[in-house]
Amino acid sequence: MTLTRADQAKYPFLTDAAEEVRREDLDIQNLDNPEVELIIKRALERLEEALRSDPPRVSYRRREEDVEIPSFPVAVVMAAASGSNYIKRRYALAEARRAYDLLLNEKREKFLEIARRFHWRIRCPENPIGGRRFEFAVSFPDYLRNTRPFHEAKFKLVNRPMIKGEVYLTRREAARLLREEIRRRIEERLSADVRSSLPGSLLSLIEDMKRRYAGKVKEFAFEEFPREMRWDALPPCIGQLLSAAKAGRHISHLGRFTLTSFLLNAGMQPSDVIEIFRSSSDFNERMTRYQVEHIAGARGSGTKYLPPSCDTLRTHGLCPGPDDLCRGVKHPLSRYRRRIRSPKKES
Protein backbone atom coordinates (compact mmCIF):
# COMPACT_ATOMS: atom_id res chain seq x y z
CA MET A 1 0.00 0.00 0.00
CA THR A 2 1.29 3.46 -0.94
CA LEU A 3 1.09 6.11 1.76
CA THR A 4 -0.24 9.51 0.73
CA ARG A 5 1.37 12.81 1.62
CA ALA A 6 -1.37 13.24 4.23
CA ASP A 7 -0.23 9.93 5.76
CA GLN A 8 3.37 11.12 5.73
CA ALA A 9 2.33 14.28 7.56
CA LYS A 10 0.53 12.18 10.17
CA TYR A 11 3.44 9.77 10.60
CA PRO A 12 6.57 11.75 9.60
CA PHE A 13 8.90 9.28 11.35
CA LEU A 14 8.33 6.73 8.55
CA THR A 15 10.90 6.29 5.82
CA ASP A 16 8.44 7.57 3.19
CA ALA A 17 8.43 11.01 4.78
CA ALA A 18 12.21 10.97 5.26
CA GLU A 19 12.72 10.19 1.56
CA GLU A 20 10.47 13.09 0.56
CA VAL A 21 12.45 15.49 2.75
CA ARG A 22 15.69 14.27 1.15
CA ARG A 23 14.23 14.86 -2.31
CA GLU A 24 13.30 18.42 -1.37
CA ASP A 25 16.89 18.99 -0.20
CA LEU A 26 15.91 21.25 2.69
CA ASP A 27 18.72 23.67 3.54
CA ILE A 28 18.39 24.64 7.19
CA GLN A 29 21.53 26.75 6.86
CA ASN A 30 19.52 29.33 4.91
CA LEU A 31 17.23 30.76 7.58
CA ASP A 32 16.53 33.85 5.47
CA ASN A 33 14.49 31.73 3.07
CA PRO A 34 10.79 32.37 3.96
CA GLU A 35 9.89 28.73 3.27
CA VAL A 36 12.66 27.45 5.53
CA GLU A 37 11.71 29.99 8.17
CA LEU A 38 8.14 28.63 8.24
CA ILE A 39 9.37 25.06 8.63
CA ILE A 40 11.74 25.98 11.46
CA LYS A 41 8.98 27.93 13.18
CA ARG A 42 6.72 24.85 13.10
CA ALA A 43 9.59 22.62 14.28
CA LEU A 44 10.07 24.91 17.27
CA GLU A 45 6.32 24.81 17.93
CA ARG A 46 6.40 21.01 17.95
CA LEU A 47 9.05 21.07 20.65
CA GLU A 48 7.28 23.71 22.69
CA GLU A 49 3.97 21.82 22.51
CA ALA A 50 5.76 18.77 23.91
CA LEU A 51 7.22 20.83 26.74
CA ARG A 52 3.96 22.65 27.58
CA SER A 53 1.37 19.88 27.45
CA ASP A 54 0.78 17.30 30.16
CA PRO A 55 0.85 14.52 29.17
CA PRO A 56 3.18 15.61 26.35
CA ARG A 57 1.56 15.72 22.94
CA VAL A 58 2.16 17.38 19.56
CA SER A 59 -0.77 18.70 17.51
CA TYR A 60 -1.64 17.48 14.03
CA ARG A 61 -2.35 20.14 11.43
CA ARG A 62 -4.44 18.86 8.56
CA ARG A 63 -3.77 19.90 4.99
CA GLU A 64 -0.42 21.50 5.87
CA GLU A 65 1.79 18.72 4.49
CA ASP A 66 4.38 21.09 3.00
CA VAL A 67 5.28 22.23 6.51
CA GLU A 68 4.27 19.26 8.68
CA ILE A 69 6.46 16.71 6.88
CA PRO A 70 9.81 18.58 6.90
CA SER A 71 9.24 20.21 10.30
CA PHE A 72 9.51 16.81 12.04
CA PRO A 73 13.16 16.04 11.10
CA VAL A 74 14.08 19.65 11.87
CA ALA A 75 12.47 19.31 15.31
CA VAL A 76 14.43 16.09 15.85
CA VAL A 77 17.67 17.89 14.98
CA MET A 78 16.79 20.76 17.31
CA ALA A 79 15.91 18.42 20.18
CA ALA A 80 19.14 16.47 19.69
CA ALA A 81 21.15 19.71 19.61
CA SER A 82 19.56 20.88 22.86
CA GLY A 83 21.71 18.38 24.76
CA SER A 84 18.87 17.96 27.26
CA ASN A 85 17.81 14.41 28.01
CA TYR A 86 14.54 15.74 29.37
CA ILE A 87 13.71 17.60 26.14
CA LYS A 88 14.65 14.57 24.07
CA ARG A 89 12.51 12.14 26.10
CA ARG A 90 9.62 14.58 26.28
CA TYR A 91 9.62 15.21 22.54
CA ALA A 92 9.86 11.54 21.59
CA LEU A 93 6.94 10.70 23.86
CA ALA A 94 4.87 13.62 22.55
CA GLU A 95 5.26 12.54 18.92
CA ALA A 96 4.50 8.93 19.87
CA ARG A 97 1.31 10.02 21.67
CA ARG A 98 0.22 12.03 18.65
CA ALA A 99 0.67 8.97 16.44
CA TYR A 100 -1.26 6.85 18.95
CA ASP A 101 -4.27 9.19 18.81
CA LEU A 102 -4.24 9.12 15.01
CA LEU A 103 -3.84 5.33 14.81
CA LEU A 104 -6.97 4.79 16.88
CA ASN A 105 -9.02 6.22 14.02
CA GLU A 106 -7.20 4.68 11.04
CA LYS A 107 -8.71 2.06 8.77
CA ARG A 108 -7.42 -1.41 9.51
CA GLU A 109 -5.51 -1.65 6.23
CA LYS A 110 -3.67 1.60 6.95
CA PHE A 111 -2.95 0.51 10.52
CA LEU A 112 -1.46 -2.75 9.24
CA GLU A 113 0.66 -0.93 6.69
CA ILE A 114 2.14 1.44 9.25
CA ALA A 115 2.93 -1.44 11.62
CA ARG A 116 4.59 -3.34 8.78
CA ARG A 117 6.81 -0.34 8.06
CA PHE A 118 8.39 -1.24 11.40
CA HIS A 119 8.75 -4.82 10.14
CA TRP A 120 6.01 -6.12 12.41
CA ARG A 121 4.44 -9.46 11.60
CA ILE A 122 0.81 -8.51 12.09
CA ARG A 123 -2.53 -9.51 10.62
CA CYS A 124 -6.27 -9.23 11.20
CA PRO A 125 -7.64 -12.53 12.58
CA GLU A 126 -10.90 -13.80 11.12
CA ASN A 127 -12.19 -15.90 14.00
CA PRO A 128 -12.92 -14.97 17.63
CA ILE A 129 -10.71 -16.32 20.41
CA GLY A 130 -12.47 -17.58 23.53
CA GLY A 131 -15.70 -15.99 22.37
CA ARG A 132 -14.04 -12.60 21.95
CA ARG A 133 -13.06 -10.83 18.75
CA PHE A 134 -9.66 -9.22 18.46
CA GLU A 135 -8.76 -6.77 15.72
CA PHE A 136 -5.09 -7.72 15.39
CA ALA A 137 -2.73 -10.64 15.94
CA VAL A 138 0.97 -9.76 16.29
CA SER A 139 4.00 -12.03 16.46
CA PHE A 140 5.32 -12.86 19.92
CA PRO A 141 8.77 -11.19 19.37
CA ASP A 142 7.13 -7.92 18.24
CA TYR A 143 4.79 -8.05 21.22
CA LEU A 144 7.52 -8.79 23.72
CA ARG A 145 9.88 -6.12 22.40
CA ASN A 146 7.33 -3.37 22.88
CA THR A 147 5.69 -4.41 26.16
CA ARG A 148 8.85 -4.60 28.27
CA PRO A 149 8.34 -1.09 29.72
CA PHE A 150 4.64 -1.77 30.47
CA HIS A 151 3.52 -2.62 33.98
CA GLU A 152 -0.23 -3.13 33.64
CA ALA A 153 -1.43 -6.64 34.41
CA LYS A 154 -3.31 -6.88 31.11
CA PHE A 155 -0.04 -6.77 29.15
CA LYS A 156 1.53 -9.65 31.05
CA LEU A 157 1.83 -12.56 28.66
CA VAL A 158 0.05 -14.90 31.05
CA ASN A 159 -3.06 -12.72 30.67
CA ARG A 160 -2.98 -12.61 26.86
CA PRO A 161 -4.47 -15.06 24.35
CA MET A 162 -1.58 -16.46 22.31
CA ILE A 163 -1.87 -19.11 19.59
CA LYS A 164 0.96 -20.40 17.39
CA GLY A 165 3.31 -17.57 18.30
CA GLU A 166 0.78 -14.78 17.80
CA VAL A 167 -0.61 -12.53 20.54
CA TYR A 168 -4.16 -11.24 20.02
CA LEU A 169 -4.86 -7.55 20.63
CA THR A 170 -7.59 -4.95 20.50
CA ARG A 171 -6.99 -1.88 18.37
CA ARG A 172 -6.20 0.26 21.43
CA GLU A 173 -3.70 -2.32 22.69
CA ALA A 174 -2.01 -2.63 19.30
CA ALA A 175 -1.80 1.16 19.03
CA ARG A 176 -0.22 1.28 22.48
CA LEU A 177 2.49 -1.13 21.32
CA LEU A 178 3.09 0.94 18.21
CA ARG A 179 3.33 4.04 20.38
CA GLU A 180 6.19 2.42 22.29
CA GLU A 181 7.89 1.36 19.03
CA ILE A 182 7.62 4.90 17.69
CA ARG A 183 8.87 6.49 20.91
CA ARG A 184 11.90 4.23 20.97
CA ARG A 185 12.75 4.83 17.30
CA ILE A 186 12.55 8.60 17.72
CA GLU A 187 14.73 8.48 20.85
CA GLU A 188 17.34 6.57 18.87
CA ARG A 189 17.46 9.41 16.34
CA LEU A 190 17.81 11.96 19.13
CA SER A 191 21.15 10.52 20.24
CA ALA A 192 22.99 11.97 17.22
CA ASP A 193 25.63 14.67 17.78
CA VAL A 194 24.49 17.43 15.43
CA ARG A 195 25.40 20.73 17.10
CA SER A 196 28.60 21.23 15.13
CA SER A 197 26.71 21.07 11.82
CA LEU A 198 24.06 23.67 12.70
CA PRO A 199 24.23 27.41 11.93
CA GLY A 200 24.64 29.77 14.85
CA SER A 201 21.22 31.33 14.25
CA LEU A 202 19.49 27.98 14.73
CA LEU A 203 21.55 27.22 17.83
CA SER A 204 20.42 30.58 19.22
CA LEU A 205 16.77 29.56 18.76
CA ILE A 206 17.45 26.30 20.58
CA GLU A 207 19.19 28.01 23.49
CA ASP A 208 16.39 30.57 23.74
CA MET A 209 13.84 27.72 23.94
CA LYS A 210 15.89 26.07 26.70
CA ARG A 211 15.95 29.33 28.67
CA ARG A 212 12.19 29.80 28.37
CA TYR A 213 11.51 26.27 29.62
CA ALA A 214 14.40 26.15 32.07
CA GLY A 215 12.00 25.69 34.99
CA LYS A 216 10.57 22.47 33.59
CA VAL A 217 13.94 21.15 32.48
CA LYS A 218 15.55 21.96 35.81
CA GLU A 219 12.75 20.28 37.76
CA PHE A 220 13.44 17.02 35.97
CA ALA A 221 17.23 17.23 35.77
CA PHE A 222 17.44 14.27 38.12
CA GLU A 223 21.00 13.48 37.15
CA GLU A 224 22.06 16.40 39.34
CA PHE A 225 21.10 14.60 42.56
CA PRO A 226 23.90 13.95 45.08
CA ARG A 227 25.83 10.78 44.37
CA GLU A 228 25.02 9.41 47.82
CA MET A 229 21.42 8.50 48.61
CA ARG A 230 19.72 10.72 51.16
CA TRP A 231 17.55 8.17 52.95
CA ASP A 232 16.06 10.87 55.18
CA ALA A 233 14.79 12.71 52.08
CA LEU A 234 12.64 9.90 50.62
CA PRO A 235 9.03 10.85 49.90
CA PRO A 236 6.35 8.90 51.82
CA CYS A 237 5.44 6.69 48.85
CA ILE A 238 9.04 5.53 48.32
CA GLY A 239 9.68 5.11 52.03
CA GLN A 240 6.65 2.84 52.28
CA LEU A 241 7.73 0.74 49.28
CA LEU A 242 11.29 0.50 50.57
CA SER A 243 10.14 -0.73 53.99
CA ALA A 244 7.92 -3.35 52.35
CA ALA A 245 10.77 -4.56 50.11
CA LYS A 246 13.24 -4.87 52.99
CA ALA A 247 10.65 -6.77 55.05
CA GLY A 248 10.02 -9.17 52.18
CA ARG A 249 6.35 -8.14 51.88
CA HIS A 250 4.51 -8.41 48.58
CA ILE A 251 4.80 -5.36 46.30
CA SER A 252 2.81 -4.93 43.10
CA HIS A 253 4.62 -4.86 39.77
CA LEU A 254 4.06 -1.12 39.48
CA GLY A 255 5.31 -0.68 43.03
CA ARG A 256 8.54 -2.53 42.25
CA PHE A 257 9.04 -0.47 39.12
CA THR A 258 8.40 2.75 41.05
CA LEU A 259 10.86 1.88 43.81
CA THR A 260 13.53 0.66 41.39
CA SER A 261 13.33 3.59 38.97
CA PHE A 262 13.27 6.10 41.83
CA LEU A 263 16.36 4.68 43.53
CA LEU A 264 18.29 4.46 40.25
CA ASN A 265 17.45 8.06 39.31
CA ALA A 266 18.36 9.22 42.81
CA GLY A 267 21.87 7.84 42.34
CA MET A 268 21.78 4.27 43.63
CA GLN A 269 23.75 1.59 41.78
CA PRO A 270 21.84 -1.32 40.17
CA SER A 271 23.71 -3.88 42.28
CA ASP A 272 22.55 -2.13 45.47
CA VAL A 273 18.96 -1.97 44.25
CA ILE A 274 19.03 -5.71 43.56
CA GLU A 275 20.07 -6.37 47.16
CA ILE A 276 16.98 -4.55 48.45
CA PHE A 277 14.71 -7.14 46.81
CA ARG A 278 16.67 -10.14 48.10
CA SER A 279 14.28 -10.58 51.05
CA SER A 280 11.31 -11.23 48.74
CA SER A 281 9.98 -14.79 48.84
CA ASP A 282 9.91 -14.91 45.02
CA PHE A 283 13.39 -13.37 44.58
CA ASN A 284 15.16 -14.55 41.43
CA GLU A 285 18.56 -12.92 41.08
CA ARG A 286 18.89 -13.42 37.32
CA MET A 287 15.43 -12.00 36.60
CA THR A 288 15.76 -9.18 39.11
CA ARG A 289 19.14 -8.16 37.68
CA TYR A 290 17.73 -8.11 34.16
CA GLN A 291 14.73 -5.97 35.19
CA VAL A 292 16.81 -3.51 37.25
CA GLU A 293 19.42 -3.10 34.51
CA HIS A 294 16.69 -2.63 31.91
CA ILE A 295 15.12 0.17 33.98
CA ALA A 296 18.60 1.67 34.47
CA GLY A 297 19.08 1.84 30.69
CA ALA A 298 21.90 -0.71 30.67
CA ARG A 299 19.85 -3.11 28.52
CA GLY A 300 17.41 -2.88 25.65
CA SER A 301 16.93 0.56 24.07
CA GLY A 302 19.28 2.29 26.53
CA THR A 303 16.47 4.39 27.96
CA LYS A 304 16.71 5.14 31.67
CA TYR A 305 13.15 5.10 32.96
CA LEU A 306 11.64 7.60 35.36
CA PRO A 307 9.21 6.58 38.11
CA PRO A 308 5.49 7.32 37.59
CA SER A 309 3.99 10.69 38.48
CA CYS A 310 2.19 11.37 41.74
CA ASP A 311 -1.17 11.20 39.94
CA THR A 312 -0.37 7.68 38.70
CA LEU A 313 0.76 6.56 42.15
CA ARG A 314 -2.44 7.88 43.71
CA THR A 315 -4.55 6.15 41.06
CA HIS A 316 -2.91 2.80 41.84
CA GLY A 317 -3.07 3.19 45.61
CA LEU A 318 0.68 3.65 46.08
CA CYS A 319 0.49 7.06 47.73
CA PRO A 320 0.07 6.69 51.53
CA GLY A 321 -0.86 10.36 51.78
CA PRO A 322 1.21 13.48 51.10
CA ASP A 323 3.28 15.31 53.68
CA ASP A 324 3.92 19.05 53.79
CA LEU A 325 6.73 18.89 51.22
CA CYS A 326 4.54 17.00 48.75
CA ARG A 327 2.26 19.98 48.27
CA GLY A 328 2.53 21.45 44.78
CA VAL A 329 4.81 18.74 43.35
CA LYS A 330 3.74 16.29 40.68
CA HIS A 331 6.53 13.75 40.88
CA PRO A 332 8.25 11.84 43.72
CA LEU A 333 11.69 12.87 42.46
CA SER A 334 10.63 16.51 42.69
CA ARG A 335 9.63 15.90 46.32
CA TYR A 336 13.06 14.26 46.92
CA ARG A 337 14.84 17.26 45.43
CA ARG A 338 12.77 19.66 47.55
CA ARG A 339 13.67 17.77 50.72
CA ILE A 340 17.39 17.85 49.85
CA ARG A 341 17.27 21.59 49.28
CA SER A 342 15.12 22.39 52.32
CA PRO A 343 16.12 19.93 55.07
CA LYS A 344 14.99 22.22 57.86
CA LYS A 345 11.40 22.31 56.63
CA GLU A 346 10.76 18.73 57.69
CA SER A 347 11.33 17.26 61.11
Strand locations in the chain, DSSP E?
A: 122-123, 136-139, 162-163, 166-169
The pLDDT of residue 131 is above 80 = yes
pLDDT in the model for residue 302: 64
The yes-or-no verdict on residue 139 having pLDDT over 50 is yes
Does 222 score more than 70 pLDDT?
no
Residue % of the chain over a pLDDT of 70: 93
- pTM of the model as a whole: 0.66
219 pLDDT more than 60: no
pLDDT digits (tens, 9 = 90+) for 142-180: 999 998 777 677 888 899 999 999 999 999 999 999 999
Class of domain 223-345: mainly alpha
pLDDT > 90? residue 215 = no
What pLDDT shows up at residue 346?
39
Mean pLDDT of 29-46: 87
pLDDT, averaged across the chain: 88
Residue 2 has what pLDDT?
Answer: 84
For the stretch 255-259, contacts whose Cβ atoms lie closer than 8 Å and that sit 24 or more positions apart, written own/partner, are 255/318, 256/291, 257/151, 257/295, 257/305, 257/307, 257/308, 258/307, 258/308, 258/313, 258/318, 258/332
Q: What is the pLDDT of residues 71-115, one digit of tens each?
A: 999 999 999 999 888 899 889 999 999 999 999 999 999 999 999
Q: What is the pLDDT of residue 227?
A: 58
Specify the pLDDT at position 347: 35
Domain ranges of the chain: 5-101+185-219, 104-183, 223-345
Q: Is the peptide bond before 332 cis (omega within 30 degrees of 0)?
A: no
Instruction: Tell me which residue of 345, 303, 272 sits closest to 146, measured CA to CA.
Output: 303
CA distance 202 to 192: 17
pLDDT of residue 141: 95
Q: State the pLDDT at residue 327.
A: 86
What is the reported pLDDT for 343? 46
pLDDT of residue 220: 54
